[in-house]
Chains A and B, each alone.
Chain A
């Protein structure tokens, strides 16, 4: 029973944080707080917080809308306004939501942006997304930072300098102008110290999948765990407290030898350990998850949970080099890694967490993730001789989630894993 109470505590904490944020957003006009729209990959939460602004993440709103079964009508609305069928469905969902009154997940209206901050340019769609929003919100200030791609698999000092220069000359002066608040580097440093702390905790949390059985599902539950760190709470004491609490609960599960919790209770038998590449489908999130846990499959690592920051290789925000550190963070986001880097990262996950298989969920409308996915899969298959599976769905458009096709492929995949396991076991006996 104690364990039940603990489980609830981290969830309550998270719920309070999110509700608090949306309440603040709802009252932004009264309190005079400025609102900054930005995206999760390469987000500058710490800088936004330094200027006492409130963040809004359009893609988070889109996925929340999908989970609340509202995305279909939002997408329809956007398509009615000439957004093509092939456009990223996050964009259409967000645009549709805005057109239908911009009501957020808690039922409160989301305030208009004072700043549209684009701090990651690796996703071309982001640029177009904000161009669209700029037309709708002509008073918003657009701040765009060019993020160099890690083409040669490293961040050079020149790349960092190039970004710091943009921060100093573009981002900070414009934020000062909009908020009327003077840039306070000491404040930023304090926030960054808390970011580092939260990052240490979340790394430890995702590392608990080393245990057998894994106490958590690093994809389907993982997307909840990354919530606070990805929606603006990185750099707060609340986030540190949340992750500490969560880690404590997970370690209790490890102590008791328990597997992950699913929507239908605790997973009884861990049969397969998988690494998943690509975002999940949000419109049928529960059904999608169920296919996995019904088969006894637990995800021990996923690339999607690294979308808001890659901490596996030891990188952390560094208060002693505030702007340099923010630059590195932007350049170090998962989809800004080149393909060989992603392969190395995923291979490390497969090896470290002793995964039995590797599954790609390919999202047609998401170029940032989908480009190179097949090549990555082949390379990982060749390098590690791990069975690979490939499924296709969409982010938030329910029309592109075909339950029976996905189930058919996954069933075949799990049967394939089962066979290989038998072969492997017989060879080792």
Chain B
């Protein structure tokens, strides 16, 4: 039986899970929003990583086809997205039940009107979301159940009269938490087969669709290939699905990390500091890394590592939200934007408005004042992004500066505006250094954890360190 290793990074905003094989290769990733019940968050991330691992194994089986035929590649991308939708759908059903139950227990005089409006909203958003998963790119946006639903639900509520605002928002707040904290087990095979049925329907419909020239050529090439050849892909997949769904993803060892690590139901020797895990993960992907900056939700860390990927020193900001991801979360709330919208809008700025406040809470007041004075929103956002990076730079300086290759990890590394200022300021202060930012930057802590798990945490570290370098 093949052995796999799991790392779980329970952060303040998101919980990440990474599964690696015996060669430190990532075969599965899972991510979810951290919620009141840490165990559920960790379990969901883990389950997602296991599904992802199965898709990886499935892709490996049809590797040659995927490399040679565009329809295989396109199909596998699509099926992951639809697979996510299938999971979403089940949780959505649960939320619908909970919302109805909550509203039925209300004592408002217009209770039945509220129930009608709720029904309307649900009927309205259900096909919208399905469409975005199946035909759009919602599956690749890394959005979580709560974000997706609340965004659409809020739009629905806003369109209604004031008398429905409070009861419907209350219904949502009361219902979302229990649903989020509910652990749902899915049957991989069942979900894949359902997803294939959805795709079949999609591709059949595509047969009549004309190219409108709005996308790149390769897009139409893939699409054309898949719409005429999807049956072949289906046939290949059906051949392997049984075996893959039945294969036990045997997690031989696991390590928990992140700010909530002490609350994970892991034995003490399977809990590892996130500082060591982030550094180890970042070093595994970029072996020449010597300085790691990790901006997480609740703390920011500047870490110096040696050639083995082991930490030599670190500096943390764990006192003040102004240098952390939470700052951006707060700002997003202030502007009524989602976190994902912050970066792009800041990138459209024509200049950076100077933000004087060094405090997250007071920055909110400053922002209001600036808006009142006619400052443009993108410029203010750019200034706020710059401010967070400036604080991170001072932390880097305290930890000894950027010594060689610099790797940026953590959830905030996904924000393009933050990236832009990190690149700018690191170059300004330390000259031209190699700067690494990986699409998996948010998973570095979990990856490091999985790698420690594979190494039995401490027993054979040095050998493992050299293997990574090789």
Contact = CB atoms under 8 A, between A and B. Distances in A.
Contacts of A412: 273-276, 311, 314
Contact of A411 (B273, B315, B463): B273
Given A374-B398, A381-B400, A408 B318 contact: yes
A426 B310 contact: no
A415 B313 contact: no
A423 B462 contact: yes
A100 interface: no
B461 interface: yes
A159 to B, nearest CB: 34
Contacts of A411: 273
Contacts of B276: 412, 415-416, 419
A65 to B, nearest CB: 25
B458 interface: yes
A423 B461 contact: yes
Interface in A171-219: none
Nearest to B273: A412
Given A415-B276, A422-B458, A390 B315 contact: yes
A267 B114 CA distance: 66
A422 B460 CA distance: 8
Contacts of A381: 312-313, 400
A169 interface: no
A81 interface: no
B316 interface: yes
B150 to A, nearest CB: 30
Contact of B313 (A387, A402, A408, A423): A387
Interface string A388-400: 1110100000000
Given A388-B313, A409-B318, A415 B461 contact: no
A289 B313 CA distance: 22
B260 to A, nearest CB: 11
B272 interface: yes
A388 B303 CA distance: 12
B462 A427 contact: yes
B308 interface: yes
Contacts of B461: 419, 422-423, 426
B319 interface: yes
A426 B464 CA distance: 12
Nearest to A419: B310
Contacts of B318: 402, 405, 408-409
Nearest to B274: A412
Nearest to A417: B311
A415 B312 contact: no
B343 interface: no
Give the most central of B274, B311, B313, B458: most A CB within 10 Å: B313
Contacts of A423: 308, 310, 461-462, 465
A419 B315 contact: no
Interface string B147-182: 000000000000000000000000000000000000
B316 A419 contact: no
Contacts of B310: 416, 419-420, 423
Interface string B312-337: 11111011000000000000000000
Nearest to B462: A426
Looking at chain A's contact residues, is the secondary structure mostly helix, strand, loop, or mixed?
A: helix
A23 to B, nearest CB: 43
Contacts of B458: 418-419, 422
Interface residues of B, number: 23
A415 B311 CA distance: 9
Contact of A387 (B312, B319, B398, B463): B312
A378 interface: yes
A189 B311 CA distance: 53
Nearest to A426: B462
Contact of B400 (A378, A408, A409, A422): A378
A415 B462 contact: no
Interface string A294-309: 0000000000000000
B462 A409 contact: no
Interface string B433-470: 00000000000000000000000001001110100000
Given A374-B398, A405-B319, A422 B312 contact: no
B319 A419 contact: no
A420 B308 CA distance: 10
Nearest to A410: B273
Nearest to B463: A426
A77 to B, nearest CB: 26
B292 to A, nearest CB: 13
Contacts of B311: 412, 416, 419
Give the most central of A402, A405, A412: most B CB within 10 Å: A412
Contacts of B462: 422-423, 426-427
A335 B276 CA distance: 34
A422 B315 CA distance: 23
A387 B400 CA distance: 13
A427 B275 CA distance: 24
Nearest to B318: A405
Contact of A415 (B259, B272, B398): B272
Nearest to A385: B312
A422 B316 CA distance: 25
A388 B312 CA distance: 7
B463 to A, nearest CB: 8
Interface in B272-326: 272-276, 308, 310-316, 318-319
Contacts of B312: 381, 387, 416, 420
A422 B452 CA distance: 13
Contacts of A415: 272-273, 276
B461 to A, nearest CB: 5
A22 B274 CA distance: 49
Nearest to A429: B462
A181 to B, nearest CB: 52
A392 B310 CA distance: 23
B402 to A, nearest CB: 14
Given A381-B400, A388-B313, A390-B313, 4 more contacts: A402-B319, A405-B318, A409-B316, A426-B463
Interface of A: 374, 378, 381, 387-390, 392, 402, 405, 408-409, 411-412, 415-416, 418-420, 422-423, 426-427
Please provide the 8 A-B residue pairs with the shortest distance between their CB atoms, ordered closest to farther.
A412-B273, A426-B462, A412-B275, A416-B311, A405-B318, A419-B310, A415-B273, A388-B313
16 contacts: A390-B313, A405-B318, A408-B259, A408-B318, A412-B273, A412-B275, A412-B311, A412-B314, A415-B272, A415-B273, A416-B273, A416-B275, A419-B311, A422-B462, A423-B461, A423-B462
